[in-house]
Amino acid sequence: MHTNPFLVVANWKMNPLTIREAERLIRNFEAGIEKIGKNDFLKKVELVICPPFPYLGRINKSKFFRLGSQNIHFEPRGAFTGEVSIRMVEDAGAKFTIIGHSERRINFGETDTQVNLKLKAALQSSLCPIICVGESFEERKNGETTQVIAKQIKKALEKVSILSLPRIVVAYEPIWAISTSKNASCEVDNANDIMGIMILIKKIISEIYQKDVASRVRIIYGGSVNPGNVSDLLEINSLSGVLVGGASLSAFDFLPILKKAYEREVK
């Protein structure tokens, strides 16, 4: 069994459009969390909110959640127009960072090499990195899921010390399940379902380090997590958390997810 609190990461992407809306959302989350778990919510659920960069430093500190950035640059400073450094997001209050989200890989050409550089840079800082991996629909259809995920993980972890593993979170996010109503557990055969992929990820990492490291790595799932499907996901015993996009933009959708995560942990 996992010993860490269940991790729930809210990836707001390029939403909401104003800081006022962001603050309102946060207030609604906080009011709902008060009702869910009072004082022990924090012991059971680790909530990380990843807002757009301009809101990072403006969202008030809260005892209920920590902040994360949706991206970072691997260089510490310099002539990189449009980029944001690790020190900057740390200074703005971030404790986590998402690295290699598929939207960055697809829309901004982020490569496995850059993901590796970002991971190594994050590990030199105080940030807890969340590395996203996952196959596209085409790759899955062609039976390339294992190969694709193995390549992403091997490259991401190149020259990363085994001692860093407990700090790293791997998010399995099948691209075809992001922002759709589908999620991996509802699809196809057992071998390719989420549990199978989680075992695969642990196996790949154990192979890299030539040691059984299965229990050291936190693996979470992302891709259309919503109040309707989260209960099924929470039944996966070794799942350490979920990464929630669309459903984290409304308290109506997000609070039931937090409530179910909390209930799983107090059982």
Give the footprint of ligand PGA on this chain (CB under 6 A).
Answer: 11, 173, 178-179, 222-225, 243-247
Q: Give whole-number Cα distances, 197 to 31, 74, 84, 88, 135, in Å.
A: 36, 28, 32, 34, 11
Return the number of other C-beta atoms located less than 10 Å from residue 255's C-beta.
18
Among candidate residues 46, 90, 139, 173, the one labeled active-site is: 173
- Rounded least distance, CB 78 to ligand PGA, Å: 29
- Rounded least distance, CB 13 to ligand PGA, Å: 7
User: In the annotation, is 173 catalytic?
Assistant: yes
- Rounded least distance, CB 106 to ligand PGA, Å: 11
Nearer Cβ to ligand PGA (8/89) = 8
Task: Give the contacts of 23 (CB within 8 A, at least 6 positions apart).
Answer: 59, 60
Count CA atoms within 13 Å of residue 201 on its CB side: 33
What does 73-108 look like in DSSP terms, one character per residue? BSSSSSS-TT--BHHHHHHTTEEEEEES-HHHHHHH
Nearer Cβ to ligand PGA (45/257) = 257
- Rounded least distance, CB 178 to ligand PGA, Å: 4
- Contact between residue 243 and residue 221 where contact means Cβ atoms under 8 Å apart: yes
Nearer Cβ to ligand PGA (115/178) = 178
- Rounded least distance, CB 222 to ligand PGA, Å: 4
Q: Which residue is nearest to ligand PGA (CB)?
A: 245
Nearest to 132 by CA among 144, 118, 147: 118
Output the CA torsion 213→216→148→233 (10° steps): 130
Helix ranges, 3-84 (H): 19-37, 41-44, 53-56
Among candidate residues 46, 73, 90, 101, the one labeled active-site is: 101
User: In the annotation, is 73 catalytic?
Assistant: no
Nearer Cβ to ligand PGA (157/230) = 230
Nearer Cβ to ligand PGA (161/181) = 181
Residues annotated as catalytic are: 101, 173
